[in-house]
Amino acid sequence: MSYVSQLRTCRAAADLVLILVAGAALAGCAGSGAGLDAAGRPVAPGSGNGPLTADFASIQAHVFTPICTVCHAGAGAPQGLRLDAANSYALLVGVPSNEVPSLLRVKPGDPDNSYVVQKLEGHAAVGARMPFGGPYLDDATIAVIRQWITDGAARPAAADAPAPFAVAAVVPAPGDVVAEAPRQLVIEFTAALDQTRVDAGSLRLERLDASGAPAGVVPIRLATTTADARTLLAVPHEPLGAGRYRLVANGAPQTGLASLASERLGAGAELVISTFVVGELP
Ligand code: HEC
């Protein structure tokens, strides 16, 4: 998608959301819209409902979900930055910006050098102030986001009992067709990784032929992005060409990925965690 058509899509989406918000407000008058966010999803009390506070769940519910996901969602998200609740933490914290790769989108403890803050304040080296086209966030809202980063950019507390060790989110997601070759793949797990087992054999990125059969391995560099080692960044050595790809995790007993609590990934063998397409399908 070209930049301009991307913008048109965003603008159209913005209009649509305004209509939806107006609709939700009306439904709220009739007594049926309470407890839903702008996208009609339920919000937890104290997050989207209450005042904005300097924690990730509150920022997600007040800012990222209602304002940013108009554009920053799905396979066509600008610069690959998806800010929906399932992906935003993994794609922000400790992850290099696409526009200025020497800066992290969120650098825990350092809001001035966090690219997302520069974009929100309008002094980033590349591109426009966010939200693109405005209206921009007020100073008080940006101050709360800065405070969350200053405090260490903690992830949201788990709502329920600890989940079994598994992939929580992967970008590009299974089935995605992404127009621009992603500079980096991001894999978030439900629990902290045993970092001594993260090595070149932990994940394999395969190029697939038209029939879906493996046709080669793409060299990648792996790194953890967060202090709690729950997110892996896989950076291809070379930009990915158009075609089909599949990301395979090694869950083998001795060599594969495991959690700090020594839980293995999957059934103890190889696990396909995403199959996606870069560019248009032939
Ligand atoms: C109307 C569409 C739109 C909205 C709404 C929007 N963005 Fe963006 N965003 C873009 C586009 C287009 C780009 C790439 C061009 C640019 O940077 O000017 C971008 C780029 C970015 C980048 C750079 C990513 C990188 O890796 O370099 C960040 C960070 C960002 N946006 C954050 C946000 C945040 C946070 C919000 C919500 C407060 C938001 N954006 C709302 C369209 C939007």
pLDDT tens per residue across span 149-205: 999 999 988 767 778 899 999 999 999 999 999 999 999 999 999 999 898 889 999
Q: Region 200-223: what's the mean pLDDT? A: 94
Query: Which pTM does this prediction carry?
Result: 0.84
**What kind and span of H or E run contains 15?**
helix 3-29
- The per-residue pLDDT for 48 is 63
Distance from first CA to last CA of the chain, Å, rounded? Answer: 16
pLDDT tens per residue across span 44-67: 433 467 899 999 999 999 999 999
pLDDT tens per residue across span 106-137: 999 999 999 999 999 999 999 999 999 999 99
**Centre of ligand 1 from the C-alpha of residue 71, in Å:** 8
Q: Is pLDDT larger for residue 123 or for residue 31?
A: 123
* Contact in structure between 252 and 258 (CB atoms under 8 Å): no
CATH annotation of 167-278: 2.60.40.1220
Peptide bond into 253 cis (omega under 30): no
Q: Region 12-39: what's the mean pLDDT? A: 38
Above 90 in pLDDT, residue 100?
yes
Spans of all domains in the chain: 3-150, 167-278
* Contact in structure between 247 and 210 (CB atoms under 8 Å): no
Instruction: Please identify, by atom number, the ligand 1 atom nearest to the C-alpha of residue 97.
Output: 26
Six-digit token string for 99 = 């526009």
Q: Residue 70 and residue 84: Cα distance in Å, rounded?
A: 10
- The per-residue pLDDT for 42 is 42
Residue of the CA atom closest to atom 43 of ligand 1: 132
Q: Is pLDDT larger for residue 39 or for residue 125?
A: 125
Above 50 in pLDDT, residue 252?
yes
**What kind and span of H or E run contains 272?**
strand 270-278
Peptide bond into 282 cis (omega under 30): no
Taking the CA atoms of 271, 173, 233 and 217 in sequence, report the sign of the dihedral they define: positive
Q: Residue 7 and residue 9: Cα distance in Å, rounded?
A: 5
Above 60 in pLDDT, residue 32?
no
Identify the DSSP state of 36. B
Residue of the CA atom closest to atom 33 of ligand 1: 130
| Residue 144 CB neighbour total at 10 angstroms | 19
Q: Using a 6 Å CB cutoff, which residues line ligand 1?
A: 6, 10, 14, 63, 67-68, 70-72, 78-79, 81, 97-99, 105, 115-116, 119-120, 127-128, 130-133, 137
Full strand arrangement of the beta sheet holding 185-189: 167-171, 185-189, 231-236, 220-224
Mark 104-128 as b/e (b = at least 16 C-beta within 10 Å).
bbbbbeebeebbbbbbbbeebeeee
Above 80 in pLDDT, residue 80?
yes
